[in-house]
Amino acid sequence: MKLDLANFKLSQLKPHLKQQIIPYEQAKFKALVDGGLELKVTREWLKGICETANATATTRNPEQINLPENKPKMNEVFVDAMLSLLSSSVAVIGEKCPETLRLDESRIVKMQNELQAIAIVASLLMLMKTTFVELRRNMTELKKMRDILLLLLQDPSTTISHLQVQLLDSVKTVKGSVTSEEEKLLNTMVDKTLSFKDTVYIMVQRRIIGVIRSYVLTGKFKPEILPRQGLDLVANELAQLADKFILLVEHNRQVHAPWYDEIINEFIQ
């Protein structure tokens, strides 16, 4: 009962704390900017996203009808900018990190790693189900495979061969035996997926980003769409990542809104 009461009091305090933290962080950042901090990385980052948004808007409006609804939306531009960091295959650290996100650098990198792990696992499971028919009907083994892969990907000492051996063992469990050609194919699938250049991996990551984008913009996570996108087996991990990401996006946007608005307005056409 005491724990419940403590949690209740904490939940009641959070909105009040947020009201205090945002102006405080905004004032601290303003002092840095006034003191000479240049937002070079932030400007280049947002400029690139704005240029893409402008090009997309032009394609959708070939007659160039000048109406507000035909122009890129500032909120969507910012969300897409944040998603570009999340989905980057390069760690967002040091000079690669926008000045407005330097305090959240470690959180972003952690989420980048989580996204990559989810995309790798979803891609491998999709490929395994396509290649080995026996796995499609064995949900228990697929879930076991998912859990082990996620665990292995959290370990910095894990190598590609570790993943290959684990997947091979899983296939043998349901299939009984594996030919040398099948083993070679499996090893190739793992190699290609972990290069981050494989078409299946790129497609899966794009779908994951689409799900997170929809969640951030609408406030609704839609698990019902995941099965047809091949993401149902990583639904929990995806939802957890989306929850953490949306908190980062909302807080960072509120703190740095004056600078983001100025830069985005400058580059949006």
pLDDT band at 61 (very low <50, low <70, confident <90, very high): confident
What pLDDT is recorded for position 15?
59
Whether the predicted pLDDT of 67 surpasses 60: yes
What pLDDT is recorded for position 58?
82
pLDDT in tens, 130-142: 999 888 889 999 9
Cα–Cα dist 107/6, whole Å: 27
List of residues 6+ apart from 135 with CB closer than 8 A = 128, 129, 141, 142, 170, 171, 174
Whether the predicted pLDDT of 186 surpasses 60: yes
Whether the predicted pLDDT of 171 surpasses 60: yes
pLDDT band at 16 (very low <50, low <70, confident <90, very high): low
What value does the mean pLDDT of the chain take?
A: 90
pLDDT in tens, 99-131: 999 999 999 999 999 999 999 999 999 999 999
Give 119's DSSP letter.
H
Span 240-245, average pLDDT: 96
What pLDDT is recorded for position 136?
86
Whether the predicted pLDDT of 52 surpasses 70: yes
List of residues 6+ apart from 181 with CB closer than 8 A = none
What pLDDT is recorded for position 217?
95
What pLDDT is recorded for position 153?
94
Cα–Cα dist 254/18, whole Å: 10
pLDDT band at 11 (very low <50, low <70, confident <90, very high): very low
What pLDDT is recorded for position 2?
41
Residue type at position 74 = M
What pLDDT is recorded for position 57?
83
> In terms of residues, how long is the chain?
269
What pLDDT is recorded for position 59?
82
Give counts: helices (H), strands (E), the chain: 10, 0
Contact 252, 103 (CB under 8 A): no
State whether the Cα torsion 166-170-176-181 is positive or negative: negative
**Domain ranges, ordered by start, for the chain:** 108-244
Cα–Cα dist 245/247, whole Å: 5
Alpha-helical (H) ranges within 35-154 are: 40-60, 74-86, 105-131, 133-136, 139-154
